[in-house]
């Protein structure tokens, strides 16, 4: 082969594939919404509750699996999660009642999905120093690839067969892809040794305990910004397809609007990851959050198919671009050792925001017969995220004995 590939990039590749299939399957629920409602007579709100449970369970899962990955390694965690995810999808495809579906798809699939993105992201931050923002951005690009591929695939399967077959196929795919990918995952060589050289801790920022880290104002600021960011975009993303259809956009075109947002978010992640490696994650985050708030507010004025596509590109770029930056900030503020646990905790808070959006959108729609209040509320919360992000301060170094120039790198 001649040139040896840095194994960190193989970790990134596995991370992309695992999050693409695993989270793509979970996020494709919005495509199932109308067909399931029609076939089973279940309400949009009832099915949307499965999405609410997805994100709540994924949040609890992120924290649980993140802590486990710090202890037992990421490979074991992704392997178990992949098995459980496939099981949840396969059994949900056979659900007889709405309650069964909400538990099988909402709780089991959501909890399993927490084992994929958070631990893979934590592991990726440990493998990289130089291209860290880009590497993390690429892993989270798996999320965008997931919604760009799973949604049209699910739509095509539903049209050709029915929703049950479509969900069954997604479950089988999860097993076929995630289990082999998990076997490629390794911890970086430096961390596999028990002794961590103190010198690295100096260069890498403070080494706090989990309890100390969870009590810092930095943790609160990152978690709250992530929460508001997700609360602002999850409702518009989940209801985007339905909103477009309500405005006369054909069903397949509406599904591709979601794909367009997914592709744009992919571009946003990579571009913002590259820029963050240069100018720092905080600046890029504030700019991205501001763009996201503007994009959400523009939905109030969107009517034609072409403008739905244009806005999907802008909105996708913004919400995609900011997503990987939280992991970078956590890694910069709290170090590598407790990265899985702390990023899991931040992700848990953010998933509460993700859970609120689809449910609030469904409830507001059922109450007012339109999505106007969803977009007004989401834009307001989005501006709140910008305000909190502006408060970020780097953590104080723990040992005052260090000469201050070492902090200026």
| pLDDT the model gives residue 289 | 95
If one counts the domains in the chain, the total is: 1
For residue range 298-337, list pLDDT tens digits in order.
Answer: 988 877 888 889 999 999 999 999 988 998 899 888 888 8
- Asked whether the beta carbons of 347 and 63 are under 8 A apart, the reply is yes
Which 3 state secondary structure label does DSSP give 93? coil
pTM for the model: 0.76
| pLDDT the model gives residue 142 | 85
Q: What is the mean pLDDT of each run of 10 residues along the chain (409 residues)?
A: 79 93 88 86 86 89 89 92 96 93 95 91 88 89 81 90 93 94 88 41 60 90 93 87 84 83 87 90 93 92 84 93 90 85 90 84 86 90 91 62 40
Count the neighbouring beta carbons within 10 Å of the beta carbon of residue 355.
24
Per the domain annotation, does 326 fall within a domain?
yes
| pLDDT the model gives residue 2 | 58
Per the domain annotation, does 249 fall within a domain?
yes
Per the domain annotation, does 344 fall within a domain?
yes
Helices and strands, counts by H and E, the chain? 19, 0
Per the domain annotation, does 232 fall within a domain?
yes
| pLDDT the model gives residue 205 | 53
| pLDDT the model gives residue 399 | 44
Percentage of the chain modeled with pLDDT above 90: 38
Q: What is the CATH number of the domain that holds 78?
A: 1.20.1250.20
Per the domain annotation, does 75 fall within a domain?
yes
Per the domain annotation, does 400 fall within a domain?
no
For residue range 166-175, list pLDDT tens digits in order.
Answer: 999 999 999 9
Per the domain annotation, does 409 fall within a domain?
no
Distance CA 16, CA 258 (A): 19
For residue range 184-223, list pLDDT tens digits in order.
Answer: 999 888 654 443 433 333 344 557 888 888 899 889 999 9
Per the domain annotation, does 94 fall within a domain?
yes
Full residue range of the structural domain in which residue 235 is found: 7-187+206-394
| pLDDT the model gives residue 120 | 92
| pLDDT the model gives residue 34 | 82
| pLDDT the model gives residue 200 | 39
For residue range 117-145, list pLDDT tens digits in order.
Answer: 889 998 998 898 888 888 998 998 887 78
């Amino acid at each position: 082969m001649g040139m040896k590939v840095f194994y960190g990039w193989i970790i990134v590749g596995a991370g992309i594939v695992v999050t693409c299939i695993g989270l793509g399957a979970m996020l494709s629920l919005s495509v199932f919404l109308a067909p399931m409602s029609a076939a089973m007579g279940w309400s949009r709100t009832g099915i949307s509750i499965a999405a609410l449970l997805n994100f709540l369970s994924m949040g609890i899962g992120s924290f649980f699996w993140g802590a486990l990955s710090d202890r037992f390694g990421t490979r074991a965690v992704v392997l178990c999660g992949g098995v459980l995810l496939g099981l949840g999808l396969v059994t949900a495809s056979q659900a007889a009642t709405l309650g069964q579906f909400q538990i099988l798809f909402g709780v089991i699939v959501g909890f399993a999905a927490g084992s994929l993105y958070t631990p893979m992201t934590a592991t990726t931050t440990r493998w990289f120093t130089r291209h860290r923002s880009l590497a993390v951005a690429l892993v989270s690009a798996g999320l965008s690839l997931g919604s760009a591929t799973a949604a049209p695939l699910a739509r095509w399967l539903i049209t050709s067969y029915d929703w049950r077959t479509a969900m069954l196929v997604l479950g089988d795919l999860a097993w076929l892809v995630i289990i082999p990918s998990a076997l490629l995952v390794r911890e970086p060589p430096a961390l596999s040794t028990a002794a961590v050289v103190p010198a690295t801790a100096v260069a890498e920022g403070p080494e706090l305990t989990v309890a100390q880290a969870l009590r810092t104002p930095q943790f609160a600021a990152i978690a709250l910004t992530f929460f508001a960011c997700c609360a602002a975009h999850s409702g518009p993303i989940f209801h985007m397809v339905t909103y477009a259809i309500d405005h006369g956009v054909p069903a397949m075109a509406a599904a591709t609007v979601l794909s367009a947002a997914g592709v744009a978010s992919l571009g946003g992640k990579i571009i913002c990851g590259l820029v963050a490696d240069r100018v720092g994650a905080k600046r890029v985050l504030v700019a991205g959050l501001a763009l996201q708030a503007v994009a959400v507010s523009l939905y109030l004025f969107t009517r034609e198919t072409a403008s739905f596509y244009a806005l999907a590109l802008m909105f996708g770029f913004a919400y995609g671009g900011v997503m990987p930056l939280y992991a970078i900030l956590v890694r910069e503020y709290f170090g590598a050792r407790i990265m899985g646990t702390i990023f899991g905790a931040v992700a848990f808070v953010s998933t509460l925001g993700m859970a609120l959006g689809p449910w609030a959108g469904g409830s507001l729609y059922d109450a007012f017969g339109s999505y106007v209040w969803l977009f007004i509320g989401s834009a307001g919360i989005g501006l709140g995220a910008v305000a909190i992000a502006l408060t970020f301060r780097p953590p104080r170094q723990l040992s005052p004995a260090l000469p201050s120039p070492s902090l200026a790198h």
